[in-house]
Amino acid sequence: MSPFDPLTLPNGAVVPNRIAKASMEENMSDAGLGPSAELKRLYRAWAEGGSGLILSGNVMIDSRAMTGPGGVVLEDDARLDDFREWARIGRAGGAQFWLQINHPGRQMRADMGQETLAPSAVALDLGGASKMFPMPRAMTEAEIAEVIARFARTAALAEAAGFTGVQVHAAHGYLLSQFLSPLANRRADDWGGSLENRARLLIESVKAVRAAVSPGFCVSVKLNSADFQRGGFAPEEARQVVEMLAGLGVDLIELSGGSYEAPAMQGEARDGRTLAREAYFLEFAGEIAANATVPVMVTGGIRRLPVVRQVLDGGVAMAGIASALALEPDLPNRWRAGEDRSPQLAPISWKNKMMAAMAYMAMIKVQLHRVGAGRAPKPKVSPLWAIVGDVLRTSKRTKLYRRRLAA
């Protein structure tokens, strides 16, 4: 199968090719938490770059619950015209453009000044960096119901704005992923314990989203194939959750893995597994895709066309690419033209793995900001310079966020 063959999804929508621009957290909103001019310019580059599917970075369903300052929020129709413009830009090249919608749960920084909610009062274990995140409060039944309603509301607004789909984020240790994990979810009610109960929030949110949008609007889920933590969400459980999702009108399931505690999406694990440099979730995705009735997409470290072909030949429907597209937004077009391109950042050899993961993400953000400013990416950026710049930028945006909430 060619990476440039189209993919017809269960609802009849067609993705022009099998290469997806996977989600990266940009933190490039404007002062009103809507899509900024810089963010729109970035997505114009991706729209012109040849990806068949473009997934946005985190779009939050609640302005009180942010993965970071500078995040985009879609919780009402006050800024819908700005989202309409963003949707037009992202779809200009013919790609599907889906909003990734999310709630951070306990993965919300303490300096954001908001109460942190989670399935249970279990703090993040980040060693010396744990103090950056507060002890969360266990959610009430009413707060769980509100989250479900907010996912549905944001999806309906996304359709009204002209996006072609949404992706419900249930991976990387955010709220829905926290409910799935027996390490984070220690509830003794209908929302915890058995896998069926731990998956209930995801299932009910997907049902609500599907009911709130039209049949032709795509609904996707991003799911961890594993948490890469002993005692956490495991591949066998991921397989069962995929089966649960199959009858709910889901059009695509993206498999990734890890969380803030175990950033496997950066190539690190905490359960002793060795992760390959590229497509390190492919083994899990291939096993799940073999029996899944919903198309599966895998994301994680892919940067070469031969690996994309390997993904597709293994039965996976789509290959998601993130950091390589931050470095070369037009990578699919270059591959289609026959160029042998494999963009990557220099490896970070710091002993502190958490700091190395933070530096890597900061280096990616440097590329996103450069492209958003109309400049060329800079792959050889210093990781130390990148992380210092990111800390300063985050501090400034955090102050603006808190000032906005206070007002």
Average pLDDT, the chain: 90
Residue 258: band (very low, low, confident or very high) from pLDDT cuts 50, 70, 90:
low
What phi, psi does 291 have (nearest 5°)? Answer: -115, -5
Instruction: Quote the pTM value.
Output: 0.92
At residue 30, the pLDDT reads: 94
More confident: 200 or 288: 200
Residue 127 has pLDDT above 90, yes or no: no
Q: What is the distance between the alpha carbons of residues 340 and 92, in angstroms, rounded to a whole number?
A: 26
Structure confidence at residue 322 (pLDDT): 93
Structure tokens at 42: 């970035």
The helix (H) or strand (E) run that includes residue 98 is strand 96-102
Percentage with pLDDT > 90 across the chain? 74
Helix orientation angle between 37-47 and 80-91, rounded to the nearest 10 degrees: 20
Are 123 and 135 in contact by the 8 Å Cβ rule? The answer is yes
Is the model more confident about 83 or about 407?
83
Q: Strand ranges (DSSP E) for 111-258?
A: 117-118, 137-138, 165-170, 218-224, 252-256
Task: Tell me the mean pLDDT in the region 142-154.
Answer: 98
pLDDT tens-digit map of 276-325: 434 456 777 777 888 888 999 998 888 999 999 989 998 999 999 999 99
Report, as an integer, the average pLDDT of 28-51: 97
Residue 381 has pLDDT above 60, yes or no: yes
Greatest mean pLDDT range, 65-69, 95-99, 286-290, 354-358: 95-99
- Share of residues in the chain with pLDDT > 70 (%): 91
Q: Say yes or no to pLDDT of 68 above 80.
A: yes
Both structure tokens of 12: 């009849």
The H or E element containing residue 20 is strand 19-21
The span from the CA of 266 to the CA of 95, in Å, is 26
pLDDT of 274 > 80? The answer is: no
Q: What is the predicted pLDDT for the residue at 228?
A: 55
| Domains, the chain, ordered by start | 7-345 (3.20.20.70)
Q: What is the predicted pLDDT for the residue at 281? A: 63
The total number of residues shown for the chain amounts to: 407
Confidence of residue 257 (pLDDT cuts 50, 70, 90): low
- Reported as type and span, the H/E element at residue 313 is helix 305-313
